[in-house]
Amino acid sequence: MAELTYREAVRSAMREEMRSDPRVILMGESITGYGGSYAVTKGLVEEFGPKRVMETPIAEAGIVGFAVGAAMGGLRPVAELMTVNFALLALDQIVNSAAKFHYMFGGQWSVPLVVRTVSGFGQLGPTHSQTFEGWFASVPGLKVVMPATPADAKGLLLAAIRDPDPVIFIEHSLLYSTKGEVPEQEGLEVPIGRAAVVREGTDVTLVGYSRMLLQALHAAEVLEREDGVSCEVIDLRTLRPLDYPTVVESVGHTHRVVLCGEDWRTGGFGGNLLSEIQDRSFDDLDAPIARVAMRDIPLPYSRKLEQQLIPASQQIVDAVRRMS
């Protein structure tokens, strides 16, 4: 095991896969000299050159369209969209091109493409602080991955690059500097579509992913210490396809669930998750499924106002306390 930051873990997945597969290319805005707006691709152009680490114009739809074409031409592009807010400009190419070709052309070819992008906030203002994983996860044909730990960031990105289908890989800006143990063995994948039980417990299941996984773990500690409540914590890791069996099994013995998300309550990913868990586990539930989500308000700039809205461990603790 080696201790890496989340940022280093993402970078090392790209570096290893580029070393072993000459078809892999990176493209994105300010990813060469600048090193990427979150410094994830730093040093890669020096090692692999501008043909494989491509500086692009500021043209999100064009970048993804181009990457789709490069994938059809036999390359394995990893396109970086600076943040998920800008990915909205590329929605057409993601939804109508990448996600559709394998199906609508009758399985003649697939689009082995990874779109790496970033959620997060921190006084970035209403247009730069959004979270849209639910939108991507609603589209058949896409795979959607949101790692919470350095080990998963690396292993899932390796799996995503090797996957023949388009994968939306959403990182979190507030996780980049977090550290964790990462297996040293090169090229070790974490499979797409598998959740992980990261803490075992008996009284309530907390379901999270990305930054909210860390909030859920923190809430679990608080609840154990202050209330003697034992929380089981699940990291979804992949939002599409979603590993329902792991969630259902947990609910089968805890009988209570709190869904922990960062996106808006209305139309957010948690709403769909809630209905699916209810369908599968209704008879096991002893309490209504609870949800922690962003209030339906744009995230304002002012620190005081922003803090009011950001979902954190305290809301999870409160939700569990309301249940019992």
**Residue range at the interface with other proteins (CB under 8 A); choices 51-59, 180-188, 267-275, 309-317:** 51-59
Q: How far apart are CA 143 and CA 138, in angstroms?
A: 10
- Cα separation, 142 vs 306, in Å, equals 31
Q: Which is nearer to other proteins, 59 or 305 (CB)?
A: 59
Among the listed residues 140, 225, 228, 283, the single contact to other proteins using CB under 8 A:
140
Q: Which of 36, 65, 268, 271 binds other proteins (CB under 8 A)?
A: 65
Residue 89 carries which side chain, given as an amino acid letter?
L
Residue tagged 């201790």 (tokens): 3
- With CB under 8 A as the contact rule, the residue among 210, 246, 250, 281 that binds other proteins is 246
Stretch near other proteins under the rule CB under 8 A, chosen from 107-115, 121-129, 256-264, 314-322: 107-115
* Alpha helices in 138-291, H assignment, sequence order: 150-162, 211-227, 244-254, 269-281
> In this structure, is the dihedral angle defined by the CA atoms of residues 82, 87, 93 and 94, taken in order, positive or negative?
positive
Q: At what angle do helices 6-20 and 150-162 cross, to 10 degrees?
A: 30
Cβ 66 to other proteins shortest distance, Å? 4
Q: Which is nearer to other proteins, 7 or 237 (CB)?
A: 237
Residues contacting other proteins: total by CB under 8 A:
53
- Using CA atoms, how far residue 255 sits from 252, 281, 300, in Å, is 6, 9, 37
CB nearer other proteins, residue 34 or residue 105: 105
Among 28, 36, 120, 141, contact with other proteins (rule: CB under 8 A): 141
96 scored as a contact of other proteins (CB under 8 A) = yes
Q: Which of residues 149-188 bind other proteins (CB under 8 A)?
A: 163-165
To which residue do tokens 């309490």 refer?
287
Does 281 participate in binding other proteins (rule CB under 8 A)? Answer: no
Of 5-13, 63-71, 225-233, 264-272, which segment contacts other proteins by CB under 8 A?
A: 63-71
For 168-213, the DSSP string reads EEEEEGGGTT-EEEE--STT----TT--EEEE--SSEEEEE-THHH
Q: What angle do CA 193, 162, 45 make, to 5 degrees?
A: 125
Q: How far is the CB of 36 from other proteins (least distance, A)?
A: 19
33 binds other proteins (CB under 8 A): no
| 51 counts as binding other proteins under rule CB under 8 A | yes
Instruction: Please identify, among the stretches 176-184, 191-199, 215-223, 313-321, the one whose residues bind other proteins according to the rule CB under 8 A.
Output: 191-199
- Per the structure block, which two tokens stand in for 26? 């990176």
Binding of other proteins at residue 56 (CB under 8 A)?
yes
A 10 A CB-CB count for 124 gives 16
241 near other proteins, judged by CB under 8 A: yes
- Alpha-carbon gap, residue 12 to 154, rounded angstroms: 7
Binding site for other proteins (CB under 8 A): 25, 51, 54, 56-57, 59, 61-63, 65-75, 77, 92-93, 96-97, 101-110, 112, 140-141, 143, 163-165, 191-195, 241-246
